[in-house]
Amino acid sequence: MAALLPVRLARAGRRGAGVRRTAAVLLGGGRMALIAVTSPGGAPGVTTVCLAAAFTWPDPVLLAECDPSGGGVLPGYFAGQQPYRIGVAEVAMTAARDLEAARVQLAEEAVPLDGDARRRLLLPGVADPRQALQIKGSWPQIAQVLTTAGRDVIADVGALGVESVPYAILTAADAVVLVLRPTVRFVAMAGPRIEALSRGALAATPHFLLLIGEGPYPAAEVSRTLGGTPILGTVPMLPKAAHILSDGAAGRTRWAGRLQMSSLLRTVGNLGAQLRERLDSASEEQPAAAVGVVPPASFGAGPDLHPGPAAGADSGGGRR
């Protein structure tokens, strides 16, 4: 970790090209990306898709659980059986006195998702929401550690609620992915969030929708209703596989979920690789700008959704 980005360079820019390209030079590797994954609420499957993405990401990756309501992977996928040494709260404490020490701690003590290979790491989230209150002033430092971790980071930010949203993670991100289901309820919740994401410090950050499940509304209509926000893709409903990722499952259930699991991992893996490529070409073509971003959403009084055809109407940045 000694070759990692010096703190003063990390402070030199908010996010993106300048900082990350410098890191790439120092590390001799590709440009690193921080992808924040969030939802409008309603538990559409953020943690599940983040874990699937961490298992399939094309490059070395860290899944950082930044959901203030609590981390879900240790009690969920690992069913409480995985020993761990640090979580986001410990990194916050270390970062408060020494950012470089926090980076070393992260690299050495994060939980491996792939055994000794350590290409896929997990930084567990808080176990108690009261802990999130204690570290709520530390998200900027945590963001600095994550953006200079020397690998891509998928940050599970949880739901965009009223309070405790770790905005520093969102503003440090190269892309924000809003996970939702294509229903009136989710689209109604997503509207004001998309509008908020399209303003202020987040206006230049590309944001995408990731749909969980099909219908009743076609992806293109969901996108249109949400100000034309591009759709990264659709993850099919695969409850057995999702259950293994979100809640852990042993023996027969694991076996029964195998086919579904390969389908889930294949879909999420493809979407992750596409997103990674988009970010790479965005930084090459237009370093400081948000390429592929749709203009700020003009989300009005309510979602204007009408039942559409059952399938196949996806277009314009829709499901691939």
Alpha-carbon distances of 29 from 21, 60, 81, 151, 275, rounded to whole Å: 10, 11, 34, 9, 18
Q: Is 194 in the site for ligand ADP (CB under 6 A)?
A: no
Given Mg ion, ligand ADP, none, residue 238, with its beta carbon under 5 to 8 Å by kind, binds: ligand ADP
Q: Which is nearer to ligand ADP, 40 or 191 (CB)?
A: 40
Q: Is 47 in the site for Mg ion (CB under 5 A)?
A: yes
Q: What does the alpha-carbon distance between residue 268 and residue 289 come to, in Å, rounded to a whole number?
A: 26
From the CB of 289, what's the least distance to ligand ADP, in Å? 30
Q: Which is nearer to Mg ion, 102 or 157 (CB)?
A: 157
Q: Which is nearer to ligand ADP, 176 or 242 (CB)?
A: 242
CA angle centred on 216, ends 213 and 217, rounded to 5°: 95
Given Mg ion, ligand ADP, none, residue 239, with its beta carbon under 5 to 8 Å by kind, binds: ligand ADP
The answer to whether 14 touches 33, Cβ cutoff 8 Å, is no
Burial of 213 (0-12, 13-18, 19+ CB in 10 A): middle
From the CB of 166, what's the least distance to Mg ion, in Å? 13
Q: Is 107 in the site for ligand ADP (CB under 6 A)?
A: no
Residue 64's nearest CA partner among 121, 6, 123 is 123
Q: Which is nearer to ligand ADP, 173 or 235 (CB)?
A: 235
Q: Which two tokens stand for residue 304?
A: 């204007």
Residue of 68, 70, 72, 87 interacting with Mg ion (CB under 5 A) = 72
Q: Which is nearer to ligand ADP, 77 or 167 (CB)?
A: 77
- Stretch of 81-89, 167-175, 197-205, 242-250 contacting ligand ADP, by CB under 6 A: 242-250
Q: Is 46 in the site for ligand ADP (CB under 6 A)?
A: yes
Q: What does the alpha-carbon distance between residue 15 and residue 34 come to, in Å, rounded to a whole number?
A: 9
From the CB of 140, what's the least distance to Mg ion, in Å? 22
For the beta sheet containing 152-159, the strands, ordered from the edge strand earlier in sequence to the opposite edge, are 111-112, 120-123, 61-65, 152-159, 34-39, 175-180, 207-212, 231-235
Cis peptide before 309 (omega within 30 of 0): no
Task: Name the site residues for Mg ion (rule: CB under 5 A).
Answer: 46-47, 72
